[in-house]
Amino acid sequence: MTNTSTMGRVLIVAGSDSSGGAGIQADIKTVTMLGGYAATAITAVTVQNTMGVSGVEAMPPGVVAAQMRTVLSDIGADAIKTGMLHDRAVIETVLAVIDDVAFGGDLVVDPVMVATSGSKLLQDDAVDALKTLIAHASLVTPNIPEAEILTGRKIGSLEDMKTAAYALLDTGAEAVLLKGGHMPGAQVSDFLVSLKGECVISSDRIDTRHTHGTGCSLASAMATLLAAGKSLEEAFEGAHAFVHAAIKAAPGFGEGHGPLGHARVRLERD
């Protein structure tokens, strides 16, 4: 469905986080703060707080598909962002819906496998299906542990990040944003590669335990800015700035990995 508004529409296909720090909740906050319109298809309900995940209830694949089709047939979407997909059946269902409706917007895949707390969010037999979804993506946004699983390569340096990013690019994704937060050091570097070239953004590491939902937020920020018509490089700069500011603005909630301060971030939008 054609978008006659200046507000980019993002359909988020991901899991719910009861603590509000990551997943669907972080996605909605990010899209909203960046001036987009967020719609959702919930893939799973997690029972979690800043200390970890204590339960996961997966949605039936048919329910996930119905949510996607209902949104796309009425409101439409300029971008689809996927997060926690949990199992192979849901991943295959998401891909089938995207193919069936001939979705022509950007597909941003955040290959969620493990929560910030260390809890597993993707079943082991779903990795191959996830690789198939990534091959259809406009952009895939793995962190270092996820990239290591997806490529079978150990990553211990910026050069390793670059090599892994290009390896993922070779699998079919149009662009790869490899997040460097797991790399030790005083600086954090995120690496973006596409068929048009490469870009690195580095910033001083923020000494904080309040980083719950950073991956979800970055991918959703990318999807929102792409949906608004920004170039890949413009979206990268804007998304990085938003997440960096949200980490700095974290409210300090929780005893573990606390949430970001999405609502406190005001970036200039043109």
| Active-site residue, 179 included | yes
* Residue 1 counted as domain residue: no
Backbone angles phi, psi at 53, to 5 degrees: -100, 125
pLDDT value for 270: 47
Integer Cα distance of 150 and 117 in angstroms: 20
Cβ(77)–Cβ(98) below 8 Å = no
In this structure, is residue 137 part of a structural domain?
Answer: yes
pLDDT in tens, 243-255: 999 999 999 999 9
**Catalytic residue status for 213:** yes
Q: Which of 43, 93, 216, 261 is catalytic?
A: 216
Instruction: Report d(CA 232, CA 152) in Å as an integer.
Output: 27
What's residue 116's pLDDT?
Answer: 63
Nearest one of 242, 266, 250 to 212, comparing CA atoms: 250
How many Å apart are CA 63 and CA 38, to the nearest integer?
19
Instruction: Residue 227: give its domain's CATH number.
Output: 3.40.1190.20
Position 136 in a domain: yes
Global pTM value:
0.94
pLDDT of residue 3: 75
CA dihedral 98, 95, 121, 137 (to 10 degrees): -70
* CB count in 10 Å sphere of residue 4: 5
Count H helices and E strands in the chain, helices first.
8, 9
Which pLDDT value is given to residue 185? 83
Give the model confidence (pLDDT) of 140-187 as tens digits. Answer: 999 999 999 999 999 999 899 999 999 999 999 999 999 988 888 888
Pairing of the two strands 9-17 and 79-82: parallel
- Given 30, 82, 214, 224, the catalytic residue: 214
Catalytic residue (one of 81, 131, 179, 230): 179
d(CA 72, CA 53): 31
Catalytic residue among 180, 213, 238, 258: 213
Residue 70 is a catalytic residue = no
Terminal-residue alpha carbon distance, the chain = 24
Position 167 in a domain: yes
Does residue 205 fall inside a structural domain?
yes
Query: In terms of residue numbers, what domain contains 89?
Result: 9-264
Per-residue confidence (pLDDT) for residue 118, from 0 to 100? 63
Question: Residue 182: what pLDDT?
Answer: 81
| Structural domain count of the chain | 1
What's the pLDDT at 268?
56
User: Which residue type does 32 have?
Assistant: T
Of the candidates 1, 40, 5, 4, the residue with the CA atom closest to the CA atom of residue 23? 40
Catalytically annotated residue among 211, 224, 238, 261: 211
In a domain, 120, yes or no: yes
**Strands, E assignment, 50-173:** 52-58, 79-82, 106-109, 139-140
Can 214 be counted among the known catalytic residues?
Answer: yes
Residue 248 backbone dihedrals phi, psi, to 5 degrees: -65, -30
**Residue 114, pLDDT score:** 72
pLDDT reported for residue 127 = 87
216 as an active site residue: the answer is: yes
| Single-letter code of the amino acid located at 71 | V
Residue type, 182: H
pLDDT at 69: 98
CA distance 172 to 137: 8
Q: Is residue 107 part of a domain?
A: yes
Tokens found for residue 199: 């870009």
Tokens (6 digits) for 13: 């296909």
Residue 199 known to be catalytic = no
Q: Tokens 């670059």, residue?
A: 162
270 located within any domain: no
Give 10-residue mean pLDDT values along the chain (270 residues). Answer: 79 97 97 98 96 93 98 98 94 97 97 72 83 96 93 92 94 95 86 94 92 95 98 97 95 95 78
